């Protein structure tokens, strides 16, 4: 399926510098987002998922800064623009933020204020990105609330966020993200704070909106179950790098990176006997400030093939192609 590439990330590098030293939070991340498709980004805490999302929107917290790479919006077209080269405060970047790329947070209150009604906040967001009257913006806000499945939107528009349940608040968060009619949506753990039933409803909502609006969705999660349900392609991240990229069926049927295999083993199986202990990945994620030599996963890897894993960096996954950044996988490929 040749869907339009909406955003191409190439060799993105982000550092946090402090007196304690330099933390390479992202160390050469590449992937593409396509219209109408979902890229699932998965990995343990601290691997750089949120920094990737925040970099794309140019809202990385200080002292973080982009030190290399490109983020091409509309790549290969006359409108192509490198978000990595824009001033985060520029008019262009403010148009992109919300207008071309929407962000859904884990905790909807991050995007919402306690002081204003949900209606006022959505109306404000609509008016930021289109030149419409107050009346039109209000109608659009009601329509958005209806689209995200909020019952009685004409009444609910006057509610304050704290008057709504967690599930309804996340629906409002999604309405906020869609207010500027973006064609790319980044959802950073959008259901982690919700109970399972509400989680399923919100994921179904995201799937429906994506299909209706042909959105390029980047879905961040640490949950392989969410990946299985939502993603078309998967990027597995470890310590600021993409270590495996593949179509979703391939990731589950034939994972190529030992880290991906370990993540899959850590998923509770529906076949597991009740109370069976979950297999967890041995060892903790090292701090990105003290990255192991060679393949950064080698200290935890049960499938190391030798000194090469400790000494050399495996080649990165070629962007747009399925593959794993792993010497064992390279050896297997050469043998085949």
Ligand X SMILES: Nc1ncnc2c1ncn2[C@@H]1O[C@H](COP(=O)(O)OP(=O)(O)OP(=O)(O)O)[C@@H](O)[C@H]1O
SS (H, E, C) 103-140: EECCCHHHCCCCCCCHHHHHHHHHHHHCCCCHHHHHHH
Paired strand residues for 9: 31, 71
Helix (H, G, I), strand (E, B) or coil at 287: coil
**Residue of 9, 25, 39, 118 interacting with ligand X (CB under 6 A):** 25
Region near Mg ion per CB under 5 A, out of 43-51, 136-144, 167-175, 202-210: 43-51
Among positions 278-307, residues that touch ligand X (CB under 6 A) are 288
Does residue 231 have a cis bond before it (omega within 30 degrees)?
Answer: no
Among positions 229-288, residues that touch ligand X (CB under 6 A) are 288
Nearer to Mg ion, 46 or 180 (CB): 46
Alpha-carbon gap, residue 155 to 267, rounded angstroms: 42
CB of 16 to ligand X, least distance (A): 4
User: Residue ranges of the alpha helices (H) in the chain?
Assistant: 49-56, 91-99, 118-129, 134-147, 153-156, 166-178, 196-213, 224-230, 248-253, 258-265, 307-311, 327-335
Alpha-carbon gap, residue 147 to 222, rounded angstroms: 27
Among positions 56-95, residues that touch ligand X (CB under 6 A) are 61, 64
Q: Does 50 bind Mg ion (CB under 5 A)?
A: yes
Q: Does 156 bind ligand X (CB under 6 A)?
A: no
Region near Mg ion per CB under 5 A, out of 47-55, 78-86, 135-143, 265-273: 47-55
Region near ligand X per CB under 6 A, out of 40-48, 86-94, 114-122, 276-284: 40-48
CB of 111 to ligand X, least distance (A): 16
Nearer to ligand X, 50 or 121 (CB): 50
Total length of the chain: 336
**How many chain residues touch ligand X (CB under 6 A)?**
15
Residues in the site for Mg ion, rule: CB under 5 A? 49-50
């Amino acid at each position: 399926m040749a869907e339009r590439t909406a955003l191409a990330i190439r060799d993105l590098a982000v550092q946090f510098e402090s007196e304690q030293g330099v933390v390479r939070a992202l160390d050469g991340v590449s992937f593409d987002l396509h219209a109408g498709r979902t890229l699932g980004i998965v990995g343990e805490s601290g691997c750089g998922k949120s920094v990737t999302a925040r970099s794309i929107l140019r809202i990385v917290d200080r002292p973080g800064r982009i030190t290399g790479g490109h983020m091409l919006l509309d790549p290969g077209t006359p409108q192509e623009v490198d978000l990595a080269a824009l001033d985060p405060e520029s008019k262009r970047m403010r148009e992109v933020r919300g207008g071309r790329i929407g962000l859904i947070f884990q905790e909807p209150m991050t995007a919402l204020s306690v002081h204003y009604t949900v209606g006022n906040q959505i109306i404000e967001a609509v008016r930021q990105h289109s030149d419409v009257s107050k009346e039109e913006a209000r109608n659009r806000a009601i329509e958005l609330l209806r689209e995200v499945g909020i019952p009685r939107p004409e009444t609910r528009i006057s509610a304050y966020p704290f008057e709504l349940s967690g599930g309804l608040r996340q629906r409002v968060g999604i309405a906020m993200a869609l207010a500027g009619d973006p064609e790319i949506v980044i959802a950073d753990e959008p259901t982690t704070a919700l109970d399972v039933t509400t989680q399923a409803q919100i994921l179904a909502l995201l799937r429906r909106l994506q299909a209706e609006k042909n959105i390029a969705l980047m879905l961040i999660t640490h949950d392989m179950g969410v990946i299985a349900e939502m993603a078309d392609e998967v990027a597995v991240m470890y310590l600021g790098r993409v270590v495996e990229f593949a179509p979703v069926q391939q990731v589950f049927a034939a994972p190529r990176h030992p880290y991906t295999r370990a993540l899959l083993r850590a998923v509770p199986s529906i076949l597991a006997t009740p109370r069976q202990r979950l297999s967890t990945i041995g060892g903790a994620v090292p701090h990105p400030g003290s990255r192991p030599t060679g393949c950064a996963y080698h200290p935890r890897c049960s499938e190391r093939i030798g000194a090469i894993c400790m000494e050399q960096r495996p080649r990165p996954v070629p962007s747009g192609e399925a593959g794993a950044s792993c010497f064992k996988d390279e050896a297997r490929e050469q043998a085949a």
